Amino acid sequence: MDMPSPRSIKTTCPYCGVGCGVIAEVQAGGDVRVRGDPDHPANFGRLCSKGSSLAETIGLEDRLLSPRVHGAPTDWNKALDLVAGKFGQTIREHGPDSVAFYVSGQFLTEDYYVANKLMKGFIGSANIDSNSRLCMASSVAGHRRAFGSDTVPGCYEDLDLADLVVLVGSNLAWCHPVLYQRIAAAKERRPTMKVVLIDPRRTATADIADMHLAIKPDGDVPLFVGLLRFLARNRKLNKTYIRTRTSGFTEALGAADAIDLYALVRLTGISATDLERFFELFAATERTVTVYSQGVNQSTTGTDKVNAIINCHLATGLIGRPGMGPFSVTGQPNAMGGREVGGLANMLAAHMAIESAPDRERVQRFWRSPRIAEKTGLKAVDMFRGVADGRIKALWIMATNPVVSMPEAENVAAAIRTCPFVVVSDITAATDTARLAHVLLPAAAWGEKSGTVTNSERCISRQRSFLQTPGDARPDWWIISQVACRMGHGAAFSYNDPAEIFAEHAALSAFENIGQRDFNIGSCAAINYEQYEDLAPFQWPRPANRQSVARMFNDGRFHTLSGKASFVPVQVAAPAATNAMGFPLTLNTGRVRDHWHTMTRTGKSQRLSQHYGEPFIEIHPEDAARFHIGDAELVRVSTGLGAILVRALITPRQQLGSIFVPMHWNDMFASRARVDVLVPSLTDPVSGQPALKNIPARVERFTAATYGFAVLRRKPSKIDATYWALAKCHGGWRVELALAANPEDLSEFVLALVGGTADVIAYHDRQSGHTRFACYEDGIPTGVVFLAPQPVAVSREWAISQLTHPDCGSRKRSTVLAGRPGSSAADRGATVCACFAVGANEIAAAVASGCSTVAAVGTATQAGTNCGSCRPEIRNIIERAERPTGPQAALVASS
Ligand SMILES: Nc1nc2c(c(=O)[nH]1)N[C@H]1C(S)=C(S)[C@@H](COP(=O)(O)OP(=O)(O)OC[C@H]3O[C@@H](n4cnc5c(=O)[nH]c(N)nc54)[C@H](O)[C@@H]3O)O[C@H]1N2
Ligand SMILES: Nc1nc2c(c(=O)[nH]1)N[C@H]1C(S)=C(S)[C@@H](COP(=O)(O)OP(=O)(O)OC[C@H]3O[C@@H](n4cnc5c(=O)[nH]c(N)nc54)[C@H](O)[C@@H]3O)O[C@H]1N2
Ligand code: SF4
Ligand SMILES: [Mo]
């Protein structure tokens, strides 16, 4: 057989909404390498740590390769007939609103389009909602209130051109790293450029901030209302713009007048001096971009936060021109595409409104559909309530993992368990949601499927396949269309490829649209397969025979009835009670640099699993002392809804009274760490987006009888411990452990963990109470286990290296049992640079030997010289000039 020749395919990163262009190089032997696409306008060749590690995540381990019904593999015909039959029967017996689709911003536009078309036009319900409800809904609602359309006004170039970038509730350094680096580079070129960060935590993003305003959780509405008042009182308004291009200013200012500086300090927690400095900077800078993300959207006042920000840009006319504007950055790779196809319960396709009878009639006519949803469907939180109370009797979850990511996650799981018919489409069966499904459908993954995505700056790019689809996996658009055909809608769903779907979507965007709707990509309405294959990235709108538009609203015309932008009179409400009885702390949740959501993909990469090896809580030193929590001890975090168990990471970057727990860890990777089990389903009244930050909580030290750390060659099938957390590492798996009671027989416990028939050598240090085990099979190490009455103080990186050390003969065993590096081996410390696996201690050593800049550390160690995602942390090490080692070192790379 001929070896296939090496190929290079241009595609798009499947992670965040920056939407970086990626070149996948498939080697002759089938190996894949990825690099940034130098020609892509989103990244010009750059990638972050997640993008750079994509090749590590495309293996077939844990992939779902055939449809399954009640756990048993079956063929597509049977599975599709069953899904179509059950949905059809449920609709006939209980009406169209008895079924629901819960979809995802990680769908490609073509997947999203057909799912929305099937539900709204052919089933006739609007019960299709998306995880974007947890993500972008408040921004969508805020845009629609202000602009009359869901339009992101600016583009990435504005970040280069701005003289002031205000980052609100955005950890850009970790969540949109390539944009963060773009700002950092612009600031290096033009040191007069200013960056202000507004976040209760001092995140890695603070690294480039001239000013960090550690705002009180949910203090954003008062802050921006206060800014509007300041602008008015200091004659910094653009009165011409307000008069000619906007409406409702007087009411908005009236609402703002209710708040004086004293109240502002109290509500925001920011000093009067800092408030004034920020207000003056905003007032004095024309080229100002305000970037915002989940610290804004995920709140009961999320939509008001968005409008409070937009109000300030309208009042100054800072919108629609180079280097300025409010800028909501999208989270998921296709959050924006989902909005374009209207794949949410309160939207219709192509920026048309479900409330509008003419829009409904137009879409129905275009689709030639037998019916059209007449009213808004159930939004995510209500959808799962509907599942719980029996209104929804058939549910299809696609490309999202709600048992981990939805608030009240345990109630969501219970609802799914009671639902008569649940279908899950995923690339893996190893998720907390997939294991509750009656029918599992194997989806094609990134690299195997083809379609388009739209990034934060309205840029539409192709994802292209470069791998063969394994087993029976199929693209989502195909799966949905097949079900639609089998429900009797063959004429409308007989697509041969995604190009046909994209052309239809583009045609609908231009259908009877002479400027009423800004989303218009009519230039692609007649696109054929070859043109689609070659489609270069472009920004919408791009109507037929017209160029793309980089900045919207530059003509001062908006999509409201009056054509003017609307001020929203945002009221400053008293902040939600964070000190509810018995819950004295505020729980904040979010992301870490190297994991993506529920870890189904990044959890496969050992490089990405090293930055943080286990779930953790960040807590301020004084709060830790108040609750008697020591560094690296375990903490029980609880709310009225439940409890989780995570590792303590004590850091002054966290504000007093506030704690942070990442959203990523779940039952596949830890014993009890799904943070959404703790989060109540409180939603923003306008957008229906749940408040996933700022939750009353409490903490207690969890005292274990035994703590442990293990490095194992094989993934353990079961871990019998009160606390465990599993992470991929070089050569195998690392496990953090804690047991409430001492096991009766330590060796038996170790053998069960390591698996197989290992020889076990143990060493017990009577003085410290530590016991160390080294397990071998045929002279090859299969596990190294450390157990102790306190958190285990062994260097994680060093212990991991023992599994794959070339010299693993008996001479080495004494070193392993000593539990520390021999005199010849250095302890690299916690991984900071994922690309070149450079540890904190190596960087600290470089700093100690005279490297005083990030560039110098890069020259000495290579750290930070590839994707650059770790540069804020390197700078942090330089500033502190020392790093802790020991058990917490695995955690503190970022603290
Ligand atoms: N590494 C990584 N990157 C990602 C993702 C990922 O999973 N991992 N996911 C992607 C997705 S889908 C999304 S939506 C984005 C999210 O991107 P971000 O929104 O940047 O990420 P988060 O960590 O959720 O939250 C941002 C910040 O909001 C702050 N915050 C909390 N409460 C408040 C408040 O009341 N006011 C203010 N001003 N700030 C507050 C938090 O402290 C946190 O630092 O990231 C995308 N990029
Ligand atoms: N507490 C708290 N909770 C949060 C957040 C928070 O900040 N705090 N953030 C919220 C936000 S912004 C978001 S976006 C959500 C994200 O939450 P989820 O959407 O639940 O998280 P993912 O892990 O991205 O889930 C995607 C699923 O799709 C699967 N998948 C991957 N590719 C494909 C494909 O091509 N087809 C199909 N069918 N499946 C595929 C993956 O294996 C995975 O199971 O979490 C939300 N939940
Ligand atoms: S910033 Fe990173 S995760 Fe986001 S699209 Fe670019 S490479 Fe992917
Ligand atoms: Mo998101």
pLDDT digits (tens, 9 = 90+) for 664-676: 999 999 999 999 9
Substitution candidate for ligand 2 out of 62, 400, 588, 677 with most atoms within 8 A of CB: 400
**Token couple for 160:** 């280069």
Beta bridge partners, 736, equal: 709, 725
Q: Does 725 have pLDDT greater than 90?
A: yes
Substitution candidate for ligand 1 out of 15, 16, 870 with most atoms within 8 A of CB: 16
The answer to whether residues 132 and 332 touch, using CB atoms and an 8 Å cutoff, is yes
Substitution candidate for ligand 2 out of 63, 104, 293 with most atoms within 8 A of CB: 104
Q: Measured on CA atoms in the order 833, 836, 838, 844, is the torsion positive or negative?
A: negative
The answer to whether residues 216 and 268 touch, using CB atoms and an 8 Å cutoff, is yes
Q: Which residue has the tokens 């989270």?
A: 331
Strands ordered across the beta sheet of 538-539: 451-454, 459-463, 538-539
DSSP code string of 65-127: -S-EETTEE--HHHHHHHHHHHHHHHHHHH-GGGEEEEE-TTS-HHHHHHHHHIIIIII----
> Half-sphere exposure of residue 113, counting CA atoms within 13 Å on the CB side?
28
Protein residue closest via CA to atom 32 of ligand 1: 295
Please tell me what DSSP assigns to residue 525: T
Distance CA 328, CA 49 (A): 23
Report pLDDT for 587: 98
Q: Which residue has the tokens 């209760």?
A: 200
Q: Are strands 99-103 and 634-639 parallel, antiparallel or unpaired?
A: unpaired
The answer to whether residues 493 and 485 touch, using CB atoms and an 8 Å cutoff, is yes
* Coil, helix or strand at residue 510: helix
Q: Does 239 have pLDDT greater than 70?
A: yes
Nearest to 443 by CA among 493, 480, 416: 480
Q: Does 882 have pLDDT greater than 90?
A: no
| Least distant ligand from the CA of 112 | 2
The answer to whether residues 637 and 678 touch, using CB atoms and an 8 Å cutoff, is yes
Please tell me what DSSP assigns to residue 61: T
Q: Which region among 33-42, 369-378, 739-748 has the lowest average model confidence (pLDDT)?
A: 739-748
Average pLDDT over residues 25-48: 95
Instruction: Return the biggest CA–CA distance within the chain.
Output: 83
Surface-to-core class of residue 220, CB atoms within 10 Å of its CB (0-12 exposed, 13-18 middle, 19+ buried): buried
**Token couple for 786:** 């450390």
Report pLDDT for 820: 60
Nearest to 459 by CA among 557, 332, 548, 555: 548
- Report residues whose beta carbon is within 6 angstroms of any ligand 1 atom: 16, 135, 168-171, 174-175, 198-201, 203, 215, 217-218, 220, 293-295, 331-332, 588, 590-591, 593, 595-597, 693-694
The answer to whether residues 67 and 76 touch, using CB atoms and an 8 Å cutoff, is yes
Please tell me what DSSP assigns to residue 578: S
Q: How far is the CA of 169 from the centre of ligand 1 (A)?
A: 7
User: Measured from the CB, is residue 596 less than 6 Å from ligand 3?
Assistant: no
Q: Measured on CA atoms in the order 293, 296, 300, 304, is the torsion positive or negative?
A: negative
Report pLDDT for 884: 40
Average pLDDT over residues 724-745: 95
How far the first Cα of the chain sits from its last, in Å, is 53
Q: Does 806 have pLDDT greater than 60?
A: no
What average pLDDT does the chain have?
Answer: 93
Distance CA 773, CA 749 (A): 11
Neighbouring C-beta atoms of residue 84, cutoff 10 Å:
18
Nearest to 720 by CA among 752, 745, 744: 752
| Least distant ligand from the CA of 869 | 3
Please tell me what DSSP assigns to residue 474: B
Protein residue closest via CA to atom 4 of ligand 3: 16
- Ligand 3: atom nearest CA of 49 is 2
- Ligand 3: atom nearest CA of 15 is 3
Q: How far is the CA of 332 from the centre of ligand 1 (A)?
A: 12
Substitution candidate for ligand 2 out of 108, 595, 597, 664 with most atoms within 8 A of CB: 597
Q: How far is the CA of 229 from the centre of ligand 4 (A)?
A: 32
∠ Cα 130 388 667 (to 5°): 70
The answer to whether residues 822 and 815 touch, using CB atoms and an 8 Å cutoff, is yes
Q: How far is the CA of 591 from the centre of ligand 1 (A)?
A: 6
Q: How far is the CA of 135 from the centre of ligand 4 (A)?
A: 4
- Ligand 3: atom nearest CA of 178 is 1
**Token couple for 751:** 């053998």
Q: Which residue has the tokens 């939407």?
A: 19
* Coil, helix or strand at residue 856: helix
- Ligand 1: atom nearest CA of 170 is 20
Q: Does 886 have pLDDT greater than 90?
A: no
**Token couple for 575:** 């902040």
Report pLDDT for 135: 97
**Residue type (1 letter), 2:** D
Q: Does 887 have pLDDT greater than 70?
A: no
**Token couple for 409:** 């996650």
- Report residues whose beta carbon is within 6 angstroms of any ligand 2 atom: 104-106, 131, 134-135, 294, 298, 331-332, 398-402, 404-405, 425-428, 431, 443, 445, 449, 476, 589-590, 597-598, 600, 663, 675-676, 679, 692
Q: How far is the CA of 590 from the centre of ligand 1 (A)?
A: 5
Phi, psi (degrees; rounded to nearest 5) at 130? -135, 160
The answer to whether residues 588 and 594 touch, using CB atoms and an 8 Å cutoff, is no
Q: Does 881 have pLDDT greater than 70?
A: no
Of all residues in the chain, the percent with pLDDT exceeding 70 is: 95
Average pLDDT over residues 289-305: 98
Nearest to 590 by CA among 503, 527, 665, 523: 665
The answer to whether residues 413 and 403 touch, using CB atoms and an 8 Å cutoff, is yes
The answer to whether residues 337 and 109 touch, using CB atoms and an 8 Å cutoff, is yes
Q: Does 46 have pLDDT greater than 80?
A: yes
Protein residue closest via CA to atom 23 of ligand 1: 590
Per-residue pLDDT band for 889 (boundaries 50, 70, 90) equals very low
Q: How far is the CA of 51 from the centre of ligand 3 (A)?
A: 5
Please tell me what DSSP assigns to residue 468: P
Q: Does 704 have pLDDT greater than 90?
A: yes
Q: Buried b / exposed e across 683-721, counting CB within 10 Å, b at 16+?
A: bbebbbbbbbbbbbbbbeebebebbbbbbbbeebeebeb
Average pLDDT over residues 331-337: 95
Substitution candidate for ligand 3 out of 34, 174, 176 with most atoms within 8 A of CB: 176
Average pLDDT over residues 640-644: 97
| Residue 104 region by backbone torsions, left for phi larger than 0, else alpha for psi between -120 and 50, else beta | beta
Neighbouring C-beta atoms of residue 38, cutoff 10 Å:
11
The answer to whether residues 211 and 204 touch, using CB atoms and an 8 Å cutoff, is no
- Ligand 2: atom nearest CA of 676 is 1
| Residue 582 region by backbone torsions, left for phi larger than 0, else alpha for psi between -120 and 50, else beta | left
Helix (H) or strand (E) holding 762: strand 759-765
Per-residue pLDDT band for 334 (boundaries 50, 70, 90) equals very high
Report pLDDT for 891: 40
Average pLDDT over residues 422-449: 98
Per-residue pLDDT band for 890 (boundaries 50, 70, 90) equals very low
Contacts with 334 (C-beta within 8 Å, 6 or more apart), sequence order: 105, 106, 107, 108, 109, 112, 453, 454
| Residue 497 region by backbone torsions, left for phi larger than 0, else alpha for psi between -120 and 50, else beta | beta
Distance CA 894, CA 22 (A): 27
Q: Does 327 have pLDDT greater than 60?
A: yes
| Least distant ligand from the CA of 181 | 3
Protein residue closest via CA to atom 39 of ligand 1: 169
| Least distant ligand from the CA of 663 | 2
**Token couple for 715:** 């993934």
Q: Any idea how long the chain is?
A: 895
The answer to whether residues 364 and 122 touch, using CB atoms and an 8 Å cutoff, is no
Q: How far is the CA of 404 from the centre of ligand 2 (A)?
A: 8
User: Measured from the CB, is residue 51 less than 6 Å from ligand 3?
Assistant: yes
Surface-to-core class of residue 766, CB atoms within 10 Å of its CB (0-12 exposed, 13-18 middle, 19+ buried): exposed
* Coil, helix or strand at residue 290: strand
Most confident range (mean pLDDT) of 111-125, 574-588, 753-767 is: 111-125
- Ligand 3: atom nearest CA of 22 is 7
Q: How far is the CA of 603 from the centre of ligand 2 (A)?
A: 13
Per-residue pLDDT band for 888 (boundaries 50, 70, 90) equals very low
The answer to whether residues 377 and 126 touch, using CB atoms and an 8 Å cutoff, is yes
Q: What is the value of pTM for the model shown?
A: 0.95
Beta bridge partners, 697, equal: 585
Report pLDDT for 893: 35
Report pLDDT for 845: 86
pLDDT in tens, 383-406: 999 999 999 999 999 999 999 999
Report pLDDT for 647: 96
Average pLDDT over residues 613-625: 97
Average pLDDT over residues 806-824: 57
Report pLDDT for 1: 46
The answer to whether residues 851 and 857 touch, using CB atoms and an 8 Å cutoff, is yes
Higher pLDDT, 838 or 81: 81
Q: Does 570 have pLDDT greater than 70?
A: yes
Report pLDDT for 683: 97
Q: Which region among 252-256, 363-367, 653-657, 775-779 has the lowest average model confidence (pLDDT)?
A: 775-779
